[in-house]
């Protein structure tokens, strides 16, 4: 097969890329590293307070969580942890789907029904639903719900016994 070579020093023809210059893949790469740095510190703090300090796991119950989320500090701490870690994990799982499943060549229904597309949609769906759920739980949470067993409530609740 004959191959035509360009004259030496001819300029490369301009590369036309999809997404017109926005390198999303690069920002994903940057995000994995930036969020990773913050996550090491925050996950260490999370595990230290919930699993190590005091009586460790045996102290976990509703009153423990309510005691923490009565303070805006822990509400925001857990919110940042939720968003950073879930998006980091989901983006990592996206890498695995890209690595192990072949992306469909077709379009339309052929694309919609391919395992690759279904897995990516399920991943995106689960991530979005859990981000919304977690955020709502943190900020609509009531540490002293009326009509529940007073013995299970944190000690600062008026109804607590």
Q: How many residues bind other proteins (CB under 8 A)?
A: 42
Q: Does 137 bind other proteins (CB under 8 A)?
A: yes
153 burial type by CB count under 10 A (0-12 exposed, 13-18 middle, 19+ buried): buried
Q: Does 57 bind other proteins (CB under 8 A)?
A: yes
Q: Which of 23, 25, 47, 146 binds other proteins (CB under 8 A)?
A: 47
Least spacing, CB of residue 55 vs ligand HEM, in Å: 24
Instruction: For residues 92 and 32, give the distance between their C-alpha atoms in angstroms, rounded to a whole number.
Output: 8
Q: Which among 83, 93, 94 has a CA at the least distance from the CA of 130?
A: 83
Interface with ligand HEM in residues 62-121 (CB under 6 A): 85, 88-89, 92-93, 95
Q: Does 132 bind ligand HEM (CB under 6 A)?
A: no
Alpha helices (H) along 16-160 = 24-47, 62-69, 72-100, 109-112, 115-139
């Amino acid at each position: 097969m004959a191959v035509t070579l360009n004259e030496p020093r001819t300029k490369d023809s301009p590369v036309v890329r999809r997404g017109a210059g926005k390198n999303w893949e690069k920002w994903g790469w940057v995000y994995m590293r930036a969020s990773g740095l913050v996550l090491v510190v925050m996950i260490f703090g999370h595990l230290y307070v919930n699993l190590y300090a005091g009586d460790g796991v045996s102290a976990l119950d509703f009153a423990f969580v309510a005691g923490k989320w009565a303070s805006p500090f822990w509400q925001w701490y857990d919110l940042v942890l939720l968003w950073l870690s879930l998006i980091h994990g989901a983006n990592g799982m996206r890498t695995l789907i890209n690595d192990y499943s072949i992306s469909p060549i077709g379009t339309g229904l052929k694309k919609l029904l391919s395992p690759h597309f279904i897995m990516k949609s399920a991943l995106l769906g689960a991530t979005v639903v859990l981000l919304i759920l977690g955020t709502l739980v943190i900020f609509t949470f009531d540490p002293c719900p009326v009509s529940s067993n007073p013995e299970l409530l944190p000690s600062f609740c008026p109804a607590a016994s």
